[in-house]
Structure 1
Amino acid sequence: MKTLNRTEQHQPWNLESWKNKAIRQQATYPDQQHLNQTLDKLASLPPLVTSWEIKRLKKYLAEVSRGERFLVQGGDCAESFADCNSSIISNRLKVLIQMSLVLIHGCQIPVVRVGRFAGQYAKPRSADLETRDGVSLPSFRGDIVNQNEFTEAARIPNPDKMLEAYHHSAMTMNFIRALVAGGFADIRHPEYWNIDWVKHSKSAEKFSNLVAQIKESVNFAEVLVGTKVHNLSSVEFFSAHEALHLHFEQAMTRTVPRAEGYFNLGAHFPWIGLRTNQIDSAHVELMRGIENPVGVKIGTETDDDHLIDLCRTLNPDNEPGKVTLIHRFGAKNIEDNLPRLIATAKKADLDVIWCADPMHGNTEATSNGYKTRRFENISKEIELSFKVHKENGSHLGGVHLELTGENVTECLGGARSLQEADLSKAYTTQVDPRLNYEQALELAFSIKDFYHQ
């Protein structure tokens, strides 16, 4: 492993050093005393994840970087407190379980499951203010900051929302851990993770046949060796969210006994968005000081020097599994941009994971005013990601998807060939359009095919 020198521009890191950098995408709280009291309270609460879970994920991601595992990261574009209920959480979990099983069986490779859940409560905004009919109010920045209703009282940033975000994240993680520990993902009981509204779809039928094949193989193996296979009832899940709200992220960043360094104990896998990945950014500054594996979004705007500076800043020791580059180009742009960045990373000897985000570069507006994405473009970008990496001596290590287990109609196309007129039937997202369960499962079968091309 080659060690990379820290760039000279970086001063010693501490929990407060991000405040000396360019601070972007942050809410302005009118009551500083209230904010400080809330942050003190938040910093005293138990962690949402543990340091040993974080270390285990980093180990798995190091294996992803070597092509020994595949990363599947998925979940809501923006969680809401109202969606913290058993049905929505379990359905989201079912999607990831089923997608990962398709890939494990089809690609013959272990899968690392990372959910965009239990903390994805903040969203970046294009402007600090939103104006309607001549009235300007602070933009809605997610449930962790304020409320979506367009009233002055709702839009004032409220520090107490951070405590609400913490408690909703804790409830989500507790429920997921209980489901997993209780055998929710047991291959012998796939009825636990069926989703009723699509039980007659082609994808669901295809998946049922796959499960039947796996169960038959397991039964045969058990008869052959004369003993039960005991490790089929539990799977591992890790949490992730965009590390956007810096006050919250600082409060969750702590030291732990018998381990060196600082850990962000609010999520296993925080990532930095495209709007906040500048080298002078406060977000990069806070994330460079933690032991967690870190994701960073890159796109057409990312030049060669910026890519190198990002990787060397976030991973000065060139540690395998530490940095995941989540590329988002759009199906039309990926072939013109990704080869250059792959060549740059190879020339600089950067140890990184390449992960495809086929969602954000393919967003468009329909004639009837809906923000949407076309399934064919999402699928095409993943297919091209595999192709470009292979042609350039690299490999795609994973996918990063916005999806849900609910019967939404937000992305066009897929097995049911959703059209623009269908979007109004169940368009419920707060921010970005998500794949529904049927589209997500269909995509998993496509990824399996792309993997072998």
Structure 2
Amino acid sequence: MSGLPEEDWRALRARQQPDREGPDELETVLAWLEEAPQLVYTAECDRLKDRLAAVARGEAVILHGGDGAETFARADADAVRGNLKTLLQMAVVLTYAASVPVIKVGRTAGQYAGPRTPSGQRGGRPLSSCRGGAVDVPAFTARARRREPWRMRRMYECSAMTLNLLRAFTTGGFADLRQLHDWNRGFVASSAAGRRYEELVDEIGRGLAFMRACGVTGHELAAAEFFVGHEGLLLDYEAALTRTDPESGRTYATSGHLLWIGDGARDPGGAHVEFLSRVSNPLAVALGPSATPATAVRLVDRLDPQREPGRLTFVVRAGADRIRDLLPGLVETVRSEGAQVCWVSDPMHGNTFTAATGHRTLTFETALDEVRGFMQVHRSLGTHPGGIHAELTGEDVTECVGGGNGVLPEDLPRRYVTARAPRFNHAQSLELAFLLAEMYCE
């Protein structure tokens, strides 16, 4: 049964919650979720918090990426394998360059809700925004925008399948470090963007050869530790999947290892902050360009009152033209409060625009400039740039412009298939990893 007590979070304002149709069906679905097996184990959540504590201390880096929005239609082995392969390839490069562990977190197994399309009118009738497969469907019709509770059960089932695949892939040989290096070597050999990184790939190869010579050939190279996270947007769903650990007595949101609050729901006095303050998972909060140092401190006080390293991550999405002005005040103020948070750069959300083709996109070079600004600020303050959070995919999509392989604005319609935000494709993601590696080596 659910481990979260009926407290006053339900009386607070909860942003971006759908008005569900069929209250009887909603109660039935929530009751089913309360009895369903937990999706992740509490010990895994504690382990991730320990890993993130190392990031907060400057001893590790976090790589958090995946689809901006998952869909039920793409909850299959090919999609899971492709995204995992991309993240693991990126992690190899970052681990070698930064010379610290890279904590790998997939933006997956629960990212099925969020506003995606604008509201508007058709036939004189207004329609609300699509909020994702856990709520409705994108088609611009009144029937498609019905808020159907059964979709939360489907989200649970797809998340469980994704987690099963991830556990199988990361322990069954797919994550073998030698194979990942071979894939990166193939990227360098075949890609115009990759050839400039040949020297780094050769260095990694020599490192692997040295490890083999020293007898390091077993499980250490063949498996990978991998966690999952998503935005804890649908509070009814998250509450139904909370559980109390029988040994520690602590409450966990067992829908994922890491839950975060989006920029639009980070009100320190709102229901999302109140709800997540009551669970023991590691948490993250997105800080957009409107975030102030005072707001960041209030969020620390609400979500991390004990100043526990690894408990709280701030994901900064200021935009390339604002990051160098906004970030210093946030970092210095939070540090002065004695908080050891993880600082992570999200170079995607603050840099999007609508192209002439009508597609929402961003340029690779602008996103890279925000990452560079993020790194520069931390270097100047003597603080640790904790890592990166990005929408990405293992597919050869054309959703973001630029990069070494040269996706042009006119290419966008060719393979623009995202359900929400534009994603870096496989080549752009690997190029980002190599460039970020260079920054960590500076």
Q: Where on the TM-score scale, by shorter chain, does this alignment land: which range?
A: over 0.9
* In the alignment, structure 1 residue 98 sits paired with structure 2 residue 79: no
> Aligned pair 1:131/2:121, yes or no?
yes
1:329 aligns with 2:318: yes
User: How many residues get paired?
Assistant: 439
Q: Give the counterpart of 2:167 among 177, 193, 213.
A: 177
Equivalence for 2:28: 37
- Whether the aligned pair in 1 keeps the contact of 2:117 and 2:138 (CA below 8 Å) is no
Instruction: Work out the CA distance in 2 between the residues paired with 1:451 and 1:191.
Output: 19
Report the equivalent of 2:11: 20
Q: How does 1:334-353 map to 2 (within 5 A)?
A: 334-353=323-342
> Percent of aligned pairs with the same residue?
39
d(CA) in 2 for partners of 1:144, 1:208: 43
Say whether residues 1:359 and 2:348 are aligned partners: yes
Report deviation, 1:193. 5.7
Mapped partners of 1:27, 1:16: distance in 2: 21
Give the conservation status (yes or no) of the 8 Å contact 1:357–1:401: yes
Instruction: State how far apart, in whole Å, the 1-side matches of 2:205 and 2:6 are.
Output: 50
* Residue of structure 2 in register with 1:68 after alignment: 59
- From 389, 412, 418, the counterpart of 2:401: 412
Matched, 1:87 2:105: no
User: Which residue identity lines up with residue 15 of structure 2 in the other structure?
Assistant: R
Partner Cα separation in structure 1 for residue 319 and residue 332 of structure 2 = 19
Q: How does 1:415-426 map to 2 (within 5 A)?
A: 415-426=404-415
1:143 and 2:133 are equivalent in the alignment = yes
Match of 1:284 in 2: 273
* Partners of 1:208 and 1:90 in 2: CA distance: 25
Query: RMSD across aligned C-alpha pairs, in angstroms?
Result: 2.1
Q: Which string of whole-angstrom CA distances, capped at 9 and with x for unpartnered residues, describes residues 175-232 of structure 1?
A: 1111111111112334896799997213455678756654443333443x45745410
Aligned to 1:5: none
Q: Is the 8 A contact 1:38 1:159 kept in 2?
A: yes
Question: 5+ unaligned residues in a row in structure 2: which ranges?
Answer: none
Indicate the residue corresponding to 1:267 in structure 2: 256
Task: Decide which of 178, 186, 194 is 2:176's aligned counterpart.
Answer: 186
What residue is the counterpart of 1:7 in the other structure?
none
Aligned-partner Cα distance in 2 for 1:337–1:227: 45
Alignment of 1:283-302 (within 5 A): 283-302=272-291
TM-score by length of 2: 0.94
Q: 1:75 to 1:15 in 2, by over 3 A?
A: farther
Specify whether residues 336 and 36 from structure 1 end up closer, same or farther in structure 2 by C-alpha distance, changes over 3 A only. Answer: same
Give the 3-state SS of the residue equivalent to 1:448 in structure 2.
Answer: helix
Residue 154 of structure 1 deviates from its aligned partner by 1.9
What is the rounded CA distance, in whole Å, between the counterparts of 2:163 and 2:260 in structure 1? 18
- TM-score, length-scaled by structure 1: 0.92
Post-superposition offset of 1:367: 2.1
Give the drift of 1:46: 0.6
Give distance in 2, aligned partners of 1:281 and 1:125: 22
For 1:70 and 1:226, the matched residues in 2 are separated by 27
CA contact (8 A) 1:25 1:125 kept: no
Alignment-derived partner of residue 6 in structure 1: none
Amino acid at match of 1:89: V
Superposition deviation, residue 450 in structure 1:
1.2
CA distance, structure 2, for counterparts of residue 195 and residue 430 of structure 1: 31
Partner of 2:233: 244
* Cα 1:442/1:227, change in 2 over 3 Å: closer
Cα pair 2:89 2:180 within 8 Å, conserved: no
Closer, same or farther: CA 163–374 of 1 in aligned 2, 3 Å: same
Question: Which of the numbers 44, 48, 51 marks the counterpart of 1:57?
Answer: 48
